[in-house]
Structure 1
Amino acid sequence: MTPQSAPAEIRPVDGPTPTRPLRIMVVDDHALFRRGLVSVLDDEDDIDVVGEAGDGDVAVQKAGELQPDVIIMDVMMPHTTGIEAGPRIRAIAPDAKFVMLTMSESESDLFEALKAGATGYLLKEMAVTDLPRVVRTIATGRSCLDSSMATKLIAEFAELAKQETSPRPKETLPQLTPRETEVLKLLARSMNNREIGGRLFITENTVKNHVRNILEKLQVHSRTEAAIYAVRAEYVG
């Protein structure tokens, strides 16, 4: 990996930094590249690489067994891609966060990865020295996007806004309870669980339960998708 501009960091959406070493799994079908990532991460005292995988199917199996905190995963792999593996991993290791580290600059891969629940999308051109910082960032609930991919994402949202001739009415969210609606509004303002709990005078655990229910009811896979839903439905001014 060659030095490039640092990945764009998005503000926190989850809890505090873990006090124990972070449990990391690295998934890439290129063994030499994978071992390079493992070597860099193993040099960090607060990071413990607990597993590796060379394809999406093995990644799903090991994620269930190892319950890692963060999974670094390639998009294009044999048998099962990283994007296909993402939802399966979330089903058996719901607390694990995963970030795509890939050669693909495709907008469709970026959008599909985010829909699959990825909390980051980075290109393999990034500086190898940035990798431990990225892992810590993802583990604390922030998202990381390569700066060029972040630009594409913003451009796509801008285009969607132009095409939107009439906003969705609030009646598109009748299935949410009043409390879930309040949580969604604050989530869409980029508040993390602690901030939402403080604003509504409820615990972080209660906020997590509400967020889980919101994602299920809206049939979306991530907080980002839920936030976009809320903005388009005019639940955020």
Structure 2
Amino acid sequence: MENNKKIKVHIADDHQILIDGIVAVLKNEENIDVAGHSLNGRLVIDWLNENKADVLVLDINMPEVDGLEVLRYLKKNKLELPTIILSSYDDVKLVKEVLKMGADGFLAKKCAGENIVEAINSVYNGDQYFSNEVQKDLVAAAVGKTIRKKVHQDGVFSSSLTDRELEVLQLISIEMSTKEIAERLNISTSTVDTYRKNLLQKTKAKNSVGLAMYAVRNKLL
């Protein structure tokens, strides 16, 4: 940090308790200063008209003016303000939407306390930031799209593996646990185990590493 400059952060969320929690985490960081906070999007815009921040931590769901409208305001007025989206939901479609609107990071609220410092430093330095769960969801969605496209184009695997088996295969290949796969696909862990067993039999692999190698050999990743 040049000349010991502190990163000025503005926090916007409609729950004061969350703001207080983030402030408590950041107060021990020598290079970060909480310059202000707002409980709704209208107050964020009003604050930005009178003040400057280096990073904006922005909740999506807020009264009066929501986080998406704040992003539109920033884009319309060409305000290049690194922004981290906070949300209780880490839906891939939502993540992609806010990225298109100019957001630089996405952080699930349940991970905010442990990841907020890293997220702020990352976007301030020009990088994007996603919590681990969001990263996995983005990768899974991208890989799944690739698999579906490949099967649709040439039917290479359609005769041996079902669509669901292909989906489970790609999730295993990016090192998701049985529990994570179950949550991702909204199925039980025992069902995931059944798919894994079927995949081992059909691919002749001995374990999850073998399944990942199978996916690589067949250009699924």
Residues 132 and 148 of structure 1, relative CA distance in 2, 3 Å threshold: closer
Q: Read off the aligned partner of 1:23 and give its amino acid letter.
A: K
Query: Whose Rg is larger?
Result: 2
Q: Which residue is 1:124 aligned to?
A: 109
Q: How far, CA to CA, are the matches of 2:100 and 2:25 in structure 1?
A: 29
Structure 2 residue ranges without an equivalent (≥5): 154-221
Q: Which has the higher contact order (CA 8 A, sep 6+)?
A: 1
Aligned 1:55-134 pairs, distance under 5 A: 55-92=40-77, 94-126=79-111, 128-134=113-119
Q: Which residue is 1:155 aligned to?
A: 140
Q: How far, CA to CA, are the matches of 1:64 and 1:92 in structure 2?
A: 11
Q: How far, CA to CA, are the matches of 1:79 and 1:101 in structure 2?
A: 17
Structure 1 residue ranges without an equivalent (≥5): 1-16, 167-237
Q: How far, CA to CA, are the matches of 2:122 and 2:26 in structure 1?
A: 14
- SS of the equivalent of 1:23 reads strand
RMSD, matched Cα: 2.3
Q: Kindly indicate whether the alpha-carbon contact (under 8 Å) linking 1:67 and 1:96 is maintained by their aligned counterparts in 2.
A: no
Q: Cα distance, 1:163 vs. partner? A: 4.4
Q: Which residue is 1:136 aligned to?
A: 121
Q: Kindly indicate whether the alpha-carbon contact (under 8 Å) linking 1:18 and 1:140 is maintained by their aligned counterparts in 2.
A: no
TM-score of the aligned structures, taking structure 2 as reference length: 0.60
Paired residues, what number?
150
Residues 53 and 157 of structure 1, relative CA distance in 2, 3 Å threshold: same
Q: How far, CA to CA, are the matches of 1:21 and 1:53 in structure 2?
A: 20
Q: Cα distance, 1:42 vs. partner? A: 2.4
Residues 85 and 18 of structure 1, relative CA distance in 2, 3 Å threshold: farther
Q: Per-residue displacement from partner, 1:126-148 (whole Å, max 9, x unpaired)?
A: 16243222211110011111222
Q: Kindly indicate whether the alpha-carbon contact (under 8 Å) linking 2:74 and 2:80 is maintained by their aligned counterparts in 1.
A: no
Structure holding more helix per residue: 2
TM-score of the aligned structures, taking structure 1 as reference length: 0.56
